[in-house]
């Protein structure tokens, strides 16, 4: 990815795709078993969890909020009004 | 002797926890800052474990198993897979910003942050009772879960002592012991002790969960045979599918429930303990995987228990099914004790954080605000925090003695309350135009709508809105309506009221490009 903006758009696109894929209506009445013991509806969502981890790994790699991190670590801290 | 072995194992585990609390106390620096946010020194692995352990409570183990026992495998999609996506989104998009602002300006609690961000001292006083009131059902889930599991495990163990519970240790006694242990190690070492205990307990419950899964599967003739039995004993609405158990709109609108992590006060406090922003990376990435490791076995155990024909003991509800499964299907009493200790670990790893944050909020948002920071010594601040925690725990404990609600449904109501307030924290870090008056109005509307729908549900039962529009099992989750009410109020009133001062906007929305140019 050439720029942070492109990366951010790509991550957002993936997030939207994953959001939509959660509604797996096609397995709604399916009782098929995969790997010998996992109902297909459960297996799908377990894989979905893995894909969510991949999405956030990409976000951490490509769109990490470095500016906020640097800002927080600066020493000239203002004190709160409490 | 043999029948009591599980209890000895559980007792040993609880003593081990107390020792851990004492050891962590050796690192305690004696200041309120160390007690409340561990001097912002927690590293990546401990943050992952403490955030995950805090998020996964009785709801995740006892509640999910019980719900899968009646509703089937769709329970995973309702909560776990949505949470994998949305929890990490909240950590990434909201948590890191809150950590940065908290570190920069020295915040310890949500109310301190919101009060300054929205320029409204009244907002702190208004939010405090709302957040504490919502935490009570959360604590309640833990006590109910612990009581149910130990009851399921100890049936007929003490027939002469506890005749009314068929010889099982009654929930009131389990609740008392669990509260005593957690209060002790929280009081001894503060949030550092909590983070240490969370890390240890999270590892314990993840490991024991996987062991329980394999032990129970083995007792049922292997995972394939266990699943096959469920299929063979199913009617037209098998527990191996969602049809007949969960509606499609219900499935979709559950997505709002995990937004609660953005407003959990105990999670806010854990975020602030992070050593640096990089500490969050592990949590953001591995949180969905940790959820999967815990939830998949629990869901399968729930449906297998139904297929096997296990039933909760007389007088107990589906909350007890995990304890019953462990007792009936795990032959070794040592392992049964270890597995139950693992379940209690999951429960206590949430209770401790909640106890901790309730005390922090009372001290920082009420006592210091009213008395002034200078007029209270560090010792007095700690004692005030501890005193208020004891008060909240006593109230929760008394409620736990009379309530018989299902953990899953009660938890969803608790999460719905926090989730409904999520637009406020989102606006706080992303929308400069959001105003204090709007937030006060939004909190008020949220409280009224939540309370009304909670009453309609029979005070914590499963409840769907607009069911007459759909088929018999479908409807809209109440959280969708409450969050919308909060959001609309926030937006409309913000536009109707004066915007925040330029000083506040620049304080909470730093212009990084400008700052960079100034430095150069």
Q: How far is A9 from chain B (nearest CA, A)?
A: 15
**Measured CA distances, B211 to A47, B3, B464 (Å):** 21, 21, 36
Considering only CB atoms, B296 lies closest to which of A29, A46, A80, namely: A46
ipTM > 0.85 (yes/no): yes
Q: Does B78 lie at the interface with A, CB-CB under 8 angstroms?
A: no
Q: How far is A80 from chain B (nearest CA, A)?
A: 5
- pLDDT per position as a tens digit, A33-43: 999 999 999 99
Considering only CB atoms, B103 lies closest to which of A38, A39, A72, namely: A72
**How far apart are the C-alpha atoms of B386 and B378, rounded to whole Å?**
12
Listed residue (B474, B477, B480, B476) closest to B247, CA to CA: B474
Mean pLDDT by 10-residue block, N- to C-terminus, for chain B (520 residues)? 84 88 72 62 78 80 88 93 94 93 88 94 92 88 88 87 90 93 80 77 84 90 91 75 88 94 88 80 93 94 91 79 85 82 82 84 88 81 86 90 81 93 97 96 97 91 84 87 97 97 95 75
Q: Does B519 lie at the interface with A, CB-CB under 8 angstroms?
A: no
Burial of B384 (0-12, 13-18, 19+ CB in 10 A): buried
Q: What residue spans define the domains of chain B?
A: 2-241+270-404
Q: Does domain B2-241+270-404 have CATH number 2.60.40.3080?
A: no
pLDDT of amino acid A82: 46
pLDDT of amino acid B1: 57
**Measured CA distances, B145 to B6, B122, B297 (Å):** 17, 36, 18
Please give the interface size between A and B, counted as residue pairs whose CB atoms are below 8 Å apart.
159
- Using the beta-carbon criterion (under 8 Å), do B88 and A56 form an inter-chain contact? yes
Considering only CB atoms, A28 lies closest to which of B85, B242, B373, namely: B242
- Using the beta-carbon criterion (under 8 Å), do A41 and B242 form an inter-chain contact? yes
DSSP character string of A36-65: TTEEHHHHHHHHHHHHHHHHHHHHHHHS--
**b (16+ CB within 10 A) / e for B385-414:** bbebbbebbeebbeebeeeebbbbbbbbbb
- Using the beta-carbon criterion (under 8 Å), do B227 and A52 form an inter-chain contact? no
- Using the beta-carbon criterion (under 8 Å), do A22 and B81 form an inter-chain contact? yes
Q: Does A36 lie at the interface with B, CB-CB under 8 angstroms?
A: yes
pLDDT of amino acid A76: 47
Listed residue (B56, B41, B111) closest to B440, CA to CA: B111
- Using the beta-carbon criterion (under 8 Å), do A71 and B291 form an inter-chain contact? no
**How far apart are the C-alpha atoms of B369 and B125, rounded to whole Å?**
9
Considering only CB atoms, B105 lies closest to which of A38, A69, A80, namely: A80
Packing angle, helices B64-71 and B407-420, rounded to 10: 110
DSSP character string of B91-111: IIIIIHHHHHHHHHHT--SHH
Residues 6+ positions from A57 with CB-CB distance below 8 Å: B285
Q: How far is A14 from chain B (nearest CA, A)?
A: 11
Please report where in the chains the tokens 């140019």 appear, as a residue: B517
- Using the beta-carbon criterion (under 8 Å), do B286 and A19 form an inter-chain contact? no
pLDDT of amino acid B69: 92
**Measured CA distances, B160 to B156, B177, B275 (Å):** 9, 21, 53
Considering only CB atoms, B299 lies closest to which of A28, A42, A82, namely: A42
**How far apart are the C-alpha atoms of B38 and B273, rounded to whole Å?**
6
Instruction: With cut-offs at 50, 70 and 90, classify the pLDDT of residue A75.
Output: low
Return the structure tokens found at B386: 């501890």
Q: Does B429 lie at the interface with A, CB-CB under 8 angstroms?
A: no
User: In chain A, what residues touch B288 (CB-CB under 8 Å)?
Assistant: 49-50, 52-53, 56
Q: Does B252 lie at the interface with A, CB-CB under 8 angstroms?
A: yes
Q: Does B223 lie at the interface with A, CB-CB under 8 angstroms?
A: yes
User: In chain B, what residues touch A15 (CB-CB under 8 Å)?
Assistant: 85, 89
pLDDT of amino acid B28: 66
Q: Does B345 lie at the interface with A, CB-CB under 8 angstroms?
A: no
User: In chain A, what residues touch B97 (CB-CB under 8 Å)?
Assistant: 65, 68
pLDDT average, residue stretch A9-31: 93
- pLDDT per position as a tens digit, A29-69: 898 999 999 999 999 999 999 999 999 999 999 999 999 98
**Measured CA distances, B422 to A18, B228, B370, B416, B486 (Å):** 21, 42, 27, 10, 9
User: In chain A, what residues touch B103 (CB-CB under 8 Å)?
Assistant: 72-73
Q: Does A2 lie at the interface with B, CB-CB under 8 angstroms?
A: no
pLDDT of amino acid A81: 46
- Note which residues in 231-250 of chain B have CB less than 8 A from chain A: 231, 234, 238, 240-243, 248
- Using the beta-carbon criterion (under 8 Å), do A82 and B116 form an inter-chain contact? yes
């Amino acid at each position: 990815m050439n720029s942070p903006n492109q990366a951010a758009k790509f991550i957002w696109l993936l997030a939207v795709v994953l959001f939509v894929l959660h509604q797996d209506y096609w397995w709604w009445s399916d009782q098929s078993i995969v790997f010998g013991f996992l109902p297909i509806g459960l297996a799908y969502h377990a894989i979905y969890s893995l894909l969510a981890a991949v999405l956030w790994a990409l976000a951490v790699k490509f769109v990490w909020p470095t500016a906020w991190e640097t800002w927080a670590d600066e020493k000239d801290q203002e004190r709160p009004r409490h | 002797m043999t029948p009591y072995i599980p209890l000895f194992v559980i007792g040993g585990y609880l003593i081990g926890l107390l020792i851990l609390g004492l050891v962590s106390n050796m690192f305690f620096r004696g200041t309120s800052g160390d007690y409340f946010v561990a001097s912002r020194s927690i590293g990546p692995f401990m943050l992952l474990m403490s955030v995950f352990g805090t998020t996964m409570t009785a709801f995740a183990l006892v509640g999910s198993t019980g719900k899968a026992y009646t509703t089937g495998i769709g329970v995973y999609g309702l909560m776990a897979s949505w949470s994998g996506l949305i929890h990490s989104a909240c950590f990434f998009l909201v948590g890191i910003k809150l950590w940065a602002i908290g570190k920069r300006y020295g915040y310890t609690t949500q109310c301190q942050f919101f009060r300054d961000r929205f320029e409204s001292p009244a907002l702190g006083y208004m939010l405090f009772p709302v957040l504490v009131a919502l935490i009570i059902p959360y604590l309640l889930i833990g006590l109910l879960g612990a009581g149910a599991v130990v009851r399921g495990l100890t049936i007929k163990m003490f027939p002469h002592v506890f005749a009314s519970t068929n010889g099982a240790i009654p929930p009131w006694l389990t609740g008392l012991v669990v509260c005593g242990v957690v209060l002790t190690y929280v009081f001894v070492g503060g949030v550092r002790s909590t983070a240490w205990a969370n890390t240890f307990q999270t590892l314990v419950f993840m490991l024991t969960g996987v062991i329980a899964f394999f032990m129970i599967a083995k007792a049922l003739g292997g995972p394939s045979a266990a699943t096959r039995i469920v299929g063979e004993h199913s009617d037209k609405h098998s527990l191996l599918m969602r049809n007949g158990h969960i509606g499609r709109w219900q499935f979709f609108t559950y997505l709002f429930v995990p937004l609660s992590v953005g407003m959990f006060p105990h999670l806010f406090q854990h975020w602030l303990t992070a050593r640096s922003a990089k500490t969050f990376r592990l949590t953001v990435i591995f949180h969905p995987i940790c959820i999967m490791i815990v939830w998949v076995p629990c869901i399968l155990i729930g449906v297998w228990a139904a297929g096997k024909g296990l039933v909760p003991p007389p007088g107990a509800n589906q909350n007890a099914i995990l304890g019953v499964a462990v007792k009936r299907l795990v032959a070794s009493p040592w392992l049964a004790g270890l597995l139950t200790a693992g379940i209690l670990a999951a429960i206590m790893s949430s209770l401790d954080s909640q106890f901790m944050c309730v005390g922090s909020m009372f001290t920082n948002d009420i006592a210091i605000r009213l008395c002034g920071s200078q007029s209270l010594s560090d010792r007095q601040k700690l004692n005030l925090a501890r005193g208020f925690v004891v008060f909240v725990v006593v109230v929760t404990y008394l409620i736990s003695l009379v309530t018989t609600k299902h953990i899953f449904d009660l938890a969803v109501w608790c999460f719905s309350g926090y989730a409904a307030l999520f637009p406020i924290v989102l606006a706080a870090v992303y929308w400069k135009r959001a105003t204090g008056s709007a937030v006060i109005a939004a909190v008020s509307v949220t409280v009224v709508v939540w309370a009304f729908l909670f009453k309609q549900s029979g005070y914590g039962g499963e409840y769907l809105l607009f069911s007459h529009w759909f088929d018999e099992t479908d409807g809209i989750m109440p959280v969708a309506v409450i969050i919308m009410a909060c959001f609309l109020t926030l937006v409309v009133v913000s536009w109707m009221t004066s915007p925040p001062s330029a000083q506040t906007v620049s304080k909470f929305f730093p212009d990084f490009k400008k700052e960079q140019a100034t430095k150069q």
